[in-house]
Amino acid sequence: MHLEETTDEPKVYSWDKRDKSNVENFIIDGKKGETVSRLPGTVNGEQIVIQNCQDSNIYIFDHIATVSVDDCINCNIFLGPIKSSVFIRDCKQCRVAVACQQFRTRDCFQVDTFLLCGTQPIIESSSRMKFACFSFNYKELEQQFKSSGLSIFNNNWSNIHDFTPVPEEDVNFSYIPPESTLSDFVPVPEGAEFESLQLSPDPNASLVPQTWGRRRKLSDESCLVVFFNDGSSAERAIRLIHSLKAKNPQCVLVQSKEILMEPDDSRRVFESESYITAVQGGPVIGLEFNCDGCVSLCQAAVVELMAGTTGLVFVSQSAEAAEKQVEAFYNFADMQMGI
């Protein structure tokens, strides 16, 4: 018998160059009815493989390079910030919480995902998939986001691309109701080893802003608010989101983006010369709010927020102008991010 030579290279994992005794830290295989956890500092930007698990709880409270999840059934999986991609294959009836740059599923059934994704999430040959905005917090999460290069404002969780669509009356994915919380799907682990993490599934305490996404808007009126980088823009954006939510619960944050803009981009989006210098200071943060009377509510909230400061903020001046500004800003953002 003649055997042809093959040029296929064996898979190379990030731990192949590491101490072999630590490999088990990065491969979670064949767990049945177990709870498995990795605490901050135990993964530290390495690759994780999860496979052949059933009826198990898996928690990775650390930043990760990439993750693959294969052949898992009825598992609850929490994944800390992922610098690159997560690929979920041949899984069914699982609940997942993940923050990543790229998200993809293939041959999956009934996977519910609370997601932050820096690019457009992709599903392929998958059905009865459900999605919601990533909603969680713990002590080290903010630093782990920074280590992974993820922005809490760049979340495309609802902008799903289905590679294998079916007729419209029977779509392969839907959105989890907004009143649901992550802890309704993925239980928060208990025990002494987790106490110091200060785990919180409360959406109001989430590090990632809670966005409405592509669900049907509740109002015809939106407002665009853009913070220009002056060292405090991210903090102010978060404060505005919380302030509007607390005082006007009907006002929802539809979407957010953190992007770089050039002077020509500023002219085109804002139709003004006033922001040309400001956009050169670094990434800008754009927020779209939606509710009846949204423009006046946002204007009042920004005036209160910026009192006594010298920072520059753009706020739509009318509902009519806001409609064009929201479209211009987010079309530009999506083009820049390749979405």
Residue 212 CB partners (closer than 8 Å, separation 6+): 178, 252, 253, 254, 255, 290
DSSP assignments along 234-268, one per residue: HHHHHHHHHHHHHH-TT-EEEEEEEE---HHHHHH
Q: Do the annotations mark residue 250 as ligand-binding?
A: no
Task: Region of 149 please: left (phi>0), alpha (psi -120 to 50) or beta.
Answer: left
332 is in an annotated binding site: no
Whole-angstrom distance, CA of residue 145 vs CA of residue 169: 38
- Cα–Cα distance for residue pair 94/57, rounded to 1 Å: 10
- The reply, when asked if residue 101 is annotated as ligand binding, is yes
Known binding residue 120? Answer is no
In total, the chain counts a number of residues equal to: 339
- Three-state DSSP at 69 gives strand
Q: Which residue bears the tokens 């479209």? A: 327
What residues form the annotated binding site?
101-104
What residues form the annotated binding site for GTP?
101-104
